[in-house]
Structure 1
Amino acid sequence: MPLKNMFGVNGYEWNFLEDPAAPNNRDVIFEKNMALIRNFSAVRHYMNWTKLENTPGNYTYNPTYNGSWNYDLIYTRCKQDSILVLADLKNLPVWMMETYPSGEQDDENVPAPYSSDRSKPSSYLVQAKMAFQFAARYGYNKNVNQALVKADQRPRWKNDRINEVKIGMGLISYIECNNELDRWWKSDKATQTAEEYAANLSAFYDGHKGTMGANAGVKTADPKMLVVMGGLATADAGYVQRMIDWCKVHRGYKPDGKVNLCFDVINYHLYANDGNILKHTKATRGTAPELSQAGEIADSFIKVANGIPVWVTETGYDINPGSYQHAPSIGNKTALVTQADWTLRSALFYIRHGIQRLFFYQLFDAFPGKAEQYATSGLAEGTKRRPAADYIMQADKLMGNYLYKGTINADPLIDKFQLGNKRMYVLTVPDETGRTAKYLLDLGKAKHAVVHTLKTGADAMDKKVVATVGGKLKITVTETPVFVEAAD
């Protein structure tokens, strides 16, 4: 897979449309933010269900009834700029949340009306219908029965723009069903077992094998749209195995003998730190990805997946030292530079372990300056890139299309990438103490090496051409990755 697949980011509709100088004009892309977003190959769009279906059965997209956002514009622009969108349909609409007793109302509750049997796919019919509508509009199937596709055409006020029915716009290829459904820190009302979520996902996927009507499920609208399971917070591959086991019983097998699964992509979240997510042991700080439990967790998911794509849709580091997920300053490196090092090293780390896509949390700080976990994980600030985004931009520009071909040394790490006849080696000391190492890199018959070094605040890496000695280059490797290109 190409390195650029590791350069996704999490974001929101206001990141695209909200110009501080004109906050109520939500029909124009804010170009200064778009310039930042274009540094990433993919965006995971946190998309609250209540914006799309503010009242039962009434669907809005452009503008959304809640917030007046223009999703058509965002997705069209992303396609124009070759940015993959993972649309994450999450949370409950207010009207469904209000079916719960007043003391139990939370928009992160299980997405079914209160007192539903959460083990049955039919309990998730309303969400499955929303998924159908979204896929019918933004997917690639232009032959959806128009009588089934809805848009709320009632104006909210005089001269309000009216939503229009649109079919097969060809803008979205991936949709995610909810977010962190295994949220152990909340009560049972908000947490699904693997079996409950599999039932939920079966409805969302294809209306539980087409048994829930002609207007339920993603695949019912667009068989080619791919369904990504909601990112798991605990990062337990056993949860996925139990989902697969549920599918064996309740969905059976395809003609080719494979399990008739209700997802196309496996998905989990992992923030590398000195805690233990599997035991829910709280961390005290972030750690370099290579020194955390991230590797064994990634390998466990790849094993369970057995060929199914695995994505990590949330990872990242805070810069506020009060957060237990903070990147510390190391030697003369500030927290921002450590965040940059570990962000790029996370991309290299996950491609090394076979993960097919990676999304960083997130474009901007959730709560600037706040000493809370995940509050200061932004890769940009204002209209400028932070060093982490500098590094991503520079690596993508240099070798985003290069394919990972293996790791030829463990310490320092030497990753080999290739594009046609071009070879690129990425060298990194996998530590967090400021350690350096000497390495003799064998470039075969190359007479020269082009050494590319990352630079904060720049659009491209610095580079210098160095003569090899018999095809070999002696180089000092640091905890900041360095890129070496074989040249004639």
Structure 2
Amino acid sequence: MSKPIIILLSSFLVSLSSFAQTIQKIPLDGNRWYQLTNAEKGLQQLTDGDLYTPVDAQYDKIIPLHESYYPLLKGESMIIQSVRFYDWVGMSSQPFVLYIIDSNWTRKPIASFDGSKYDRWVGPYPNRPDIIQLDTPATNIMYLMLVSQNDYPSEMELYGTYKAPLPVTTVIKKKNPLSGLLGINGYEWNFSDARTDPFSIDPIRLKTVKQFGGFRHYMDWQKLEYRQGSYTYSPTRSGSWNYDAIYEACKKEGIPVLACLKTLPDWMLASYPDNLKDNENNPVFYGKNLSDPASYIEQAKVGFQYVARYGKNKNINPALLNVFDSSRFTGDEINTIKIGLGLIEYIECENERDKWWKGRKAYQTGREYAANLSAFYDGHKGSLGTGVGVKNADSSIKVVMAGVALASTDYFRGMIDWCKEFRGFLPDGSVNICWDIINYHLYTNDSKAQRGIAPELKSNNTNADSTAKAFILNAAIYLNNMPVWVTETGYDINPGSPNKAIVVGNKTVLQTQADWLLRTALLYARNGIEKQFFYQLEDDNTGSPKLYATSGLLGDALSNRPAADYIYQTKMQFGNYVFNQSLNADPIVDEYLLNDTGKMYVVYIPDEKGRTGVYTLQIGNADSAYIYTPTAGASEMTVSKFKVNNGNIIVNASETPVFVKPVGRSGGNPTTVTGIQLFPNPVKHSITIQGLQNGKQQHLTVFNSIGKRVSQAITTSNTFQMNMASLPTGIYYLEIRNNDQKQTLSFIKSN
């Protein structure tokens, strides 16, 4: 179609000329709109200045006639005196309506658009299209709101007076250990053998879980509350699992647990008509109002009971607690009331509450889910009675919002605004939010090609990097840098899956899966995501082409696939390091720190073509460097030592990340830092520390490469020896500390 000639009526031109002399165009940031439905694309085109590219209608939205919000930021204000829309593509019978929401949460329509005047600007009233001035100026504006179905004007402009917002909160990158990005999703049967003894912990299964940096426990409500009001944990009434033993084993082994409460119990599901029965429905009795926190009281009660047992608070009235305390058969274990076991620090309320693919029965808007969370969090500020809400069982428990399936910040921004309206503000002026951690899911794939893609690449208008940045930025702007987690990501290995990893060069699908998962963790570390959990420990259905059926990091007989090897090796060797800065984009070169002193670098090509390259890495005054390469089928990375030349080392980069660790002088020569010498280095038996401050008490502590203390001593002499004979081979760090200073030196233990 040729570019049209814009024809404006003379009266409209006079009106526009007059109003332009007295008022200004109000600037609108198209990225600030959020939509209260499962819209994958934003509304940026509505205010981008392009008259002839319409807003994407997205016809498959779960809520067709939906609301979109534009919150004004702190210090920002506007008075709208005139509105105009560009009519380019025509409209259906459902008009587009612009509202304002004032400080009393009153919604007021101020303009509408019906698309009846093709290829021209029109005003706010369809029956008076040439007049753009509002009959009454819109004032006291807290939000702009749109209500629309499938059609929008191609452009919207507002005119009036405007005051810009105050500077937004700065993004604060937290120091998150790399091990926190190496978690895994799983179930009760990843700890116990259901075929033999579901009540006991299987040491072989426990060992597989220990390889990861955390465990997200998919926990069905049915297991906790088999019969309404009667709770089971050890054993669960459904399945005979021993949650006490699972969580005790995790705490003993240092495995952080995120308990994800999900699905409906049978007694609640029974309230649904047969054609709507699905245990992933919204967590309410059939017919309940999804916008009312009281509708979710049953879930808030089971949350209270669970946290009273596994949280830290021991001062809970036992009369509030109830367990199924009868035996089911001779010799059966019996549940007993336990309080404040201190085994769980995080609980996630539900999983993917935006299940649009299951229809409205399983989909909550962000505002509806906030009502759900308000009950679960603290019994809607205590209004739902005693024994309701996890914070009323343990105020220190951290509530993680359900990981949203559509990785868009729209969802939690709707949750924030519900909290503003119905929970209000705290004394410090912040919103009374009913969750502690933002959470989303993201599987990087190409829907057109029906396969997974490398995490750094872009497809379907999004990618992992830009999505992470958006979540971190919005967490800063709206929630004072609330932590952000990603609790599901992964790739299938079956060639029929639309989320499959692919053969890259001479690498197998399993090796590609390993590369991409490790690089996903490194990408999120770089962006400031605090924790991440891979989907998942074992396949749902080995051999099935179904989506996510073969995402397991373990294969037959609980054997590691390469991905599990890569994750375990990274956790053991570099899990305590924190991201510090990026030095290069392609190849990616990231710098990590240990205890703010020891450095490590990660180098890799962000692609899926089998590309290789070289990078000259500057590592200062180190004498040499060890390069660690993740290795399938091994318990440790392959290590190679290279000499540093004028402070530089050339690193061969591929699509498998390598880790570069600078070290001091090699052989029998001493390493010198501010006058202190360590020798020999590498060491086989005893290492000598020379140059200490004579007569002054100094604490000597040796840490392994993951930051665990393995030896310590105190001396007041100038020279001291420490026996290293019993230590495994590897890189170690000696911390020398006195009242005046602390410094860290590295050395190598050899055979």
Match among 370, 373, 376 for residue 544 of structure 2:
370
Q: Does 1:480 align with 2:480?
A: no
- The whole-number CA distance in structure 1 between the counterparts of 2:569 and 2:585 is 24
1:418-452 deviation line (CA, Å, top 9, x unaligned): 11321100001000000011110000111111111
Q: Which residue of 2 aligns with 1:298?
A: 468
Deviation for aligned residue 1:283:
5.5
Match among 562, 579, 591 for residue 387 of structure 1:
562
- The whole-number CA distance in structure 2 between the counterparts of 1:283 and 1:323 is 11
Q: Which residue of 2 aligns with 1:287?
A: 453
The 8 Å contact of residues 444 and 472 in structure 1, kept in 2 or not, is answered as: yes
Deviation for aligned residue 1:224:
0.3
Letter in structure 2 aligned against 1:426: V
Letter in structure 1 aligned against 2:638: D
Q: Does 1:265 align with 2:437?
A: yes
The 8 Å contact of residues 253 and 260 in structure 1, kept in 2 or not, is answered as: yes
Letter in structure 2 aligned against 1:185: W
The 8 Å contact of residues 46 and 88 in structure 1, kept in 2 or not, is answered as: yes
Deviation for aligned residue 1:34:
1.2
- The whole-number CA distance in structure 1 between the counterparts of 2:290 and 2:220 is 21
Map 1:17-416 → 2, pairs under 5 A = 17-18=192-193, 23-275=195-447, 284-292=450-458, 293-306=463-476, 307-381=481-555, 382-416=557-591
Map 1:431-470 → 2, pairs under 5 A = 431-470=607-646
- The whole-number CA distance in structure 1 between the counterparts of 2:362 and 2:653 is 47
Deviation for aligned residue 1:296:
1.4
1:206 match: secondary structure: helix
Letter in structure 2 aligned against 1:190: A
- The whole-number CA distance in structure 1 between the counterparts of 2:661 and 2:467 is 32
Letter in structure 2 aligned against 1:33: R
Higher radius of gyration, 1 or 2: 2
The 8 Å contact of residues 153 and 162 in structure 1, kept in 2 or not, is answered as: yes
Deviation for aligned residue 1:383:
2.1
Letter in structure 2 aligned against 1:257: G
Q: Which residue of 2 aligns with 1:7?
A: 182
- The whole-number CA distance in structure 2 between the counterparts of 1:419 and 1:197 is 39
2:445 match: secondary structure: coil
Deviation for aligned residue 1:297:
1.3
The 8 Å contact of residues 27 and 69 in structure 1, kept in 2 or not, is answered as: yes
Deviation for aligned residue 1:253:
0.9
Greater per-residue helix proportion: 1
1:90-125 deviation line (CA, Å, top 9, x unaligned): 000001001011111110111011110110000000
Letter in structure 2 aligned against 1:298: A
Deviation for aligned residue 1:29:
1.1
Letter in structure 1 aligned against 2:509: A
- The whole-number CA distance in structure 2 between the counterparts of 1:18 and 1:33 is 8
1:355-406 deviation line (CA, Å, top 9, x unaligned): 1100000000010011111011100122211100100111111110011101
- The whole-number CA distance in structure 1 between the counterparts of 2:405 and 2:549 is 17
Letter in structure 2 aligned against 1:405: N
2:357 match: secondary structure: coil
1:278-325 deviation line (CA, Å, top 9, x unaligned): xxxx66110110003111111111122120011000000011111010
More deviation, 75-84/26-35: 26-35
1:217-272 deviation line (CA, Å, top 9, x unaligned): 00000000000001100111111101001101111111111111010001110001
- The whole-number CA distance in structure 2 between the counterparts of 1:16 and 1:357 is 22
- The whole-number CA distance in structure 1 between the counterparts of 2:395 and 2:269 is 30
- The whole-number CA distance in structure 2 between the counterparts of 1:459 and 1:24 is 29
- The whole-number CA distance in structure 2 between the counterparts of 1:463 and 1:89 is 42
Letter in structure 1 aligned against 2:518: L
The 8 Å contact of residues 301 and 310 in structure 1, kept in 2 or not, is answered as: yes
Q: Which residue of 2 aligns with 1:471?
A: 647
2:358 match: secondary structure: coil
Aligned pair count?
A: 479
- The whole-number CA distance in structure 1 between the counterparts of 2:178 and 2:439 is 19
- The whole-number CA distance in structure 2 between the counterparts of 1:418 and 1:354 is 14
- The whole-number CA distance in structure 1 between the counterparts of 2:204 and 2:329 is 31
- The whole-number CA distance in structure 2 between the counterparts of 1:372 and 1:109 is 21
- The whole-number CA distance in structure 2 between the counterparts of 1:320 and 1:101 is 36
- The whole-number CA distance in structure 1 between the counterparts of 2:583 and 2:321 is 53
Letter in structure 1 aligned against 2:457: L
Letter in structure 1 aligned against 2:299: Q
CA-based RMSD of the aligned residues comes to: 1.0
Letter in structure 1 aligned against 2:569: Q
- The whole-number CA distance in structure 1 between the counterparts of 2:552 and 2:428 is 45
1:134-179 deviation line (CA, Å, top 9, x unaligned): 0000000000111101111122223321100000000000000000
- The whole-number CA distance in structure 1 between the counterparts of 2:415 and 2:469 is 18
- The whole-number CA distance in structure 2 between the counterparts of 1:195 and 1:383 is 42
**Structure 1 gaps, min length 5:** 276-281
Q: Which residue of 1 aligns with 2:23?
A: none
Higher relative contact order (CA 8 A, sep 6+): 1
Q: TM-score, normalised by structure 2?
A: 0.63
Q: Percent identity?
A: 52
- The whole-number CA distance in structure 2 between the counterparts of 1:133 and 1:29 is 24
The 8 Å contact of residues 315 and 361 in structure 1, kept in 2 or not, is answered as: yes
- The whole-number CA distance in structure 1 between the counterparts of 2:348 and 2:303 is 10
The 8 Å contact of residues 139 and 172 in structure 1, kept in 2 or not, is answered as: yes
- The whole-number CA distance in structure 1 between the counterparts of 2:287 and 2:651 is 64
- The whole-number CA distance in structure 1 between the counterparts of 2:230 and 2:651 is 62
Map 1:416-431 → 2, pairs under 5 A = 416-420=591-595, 421-431=597-607
Greater per-residue strand proportion: 2
More deviation, 201-210/380-389: 380-389
1:290 match: secondary structure: coil
The 8 Å contact of residues 283 and 325 in structure 1, kept in 2 or not, is answered as: no
Q: Which residue of 1 aligns with 2:142?
A: none
Q: TM-score, normalised by structure 1?
A: 0.97
The 8 Å contact of residues 447 and 470 in structure 1, kept in 2 or not, is answered as: no
- The whole-number CA distance in structure 1 between the counterparts of 2:272 and 2:623 is 71
2:451 match: secondary structure: coil
The 8 Å contact of residues 240 and 304 in structure 1, kept in 2 or not, is answered as: no
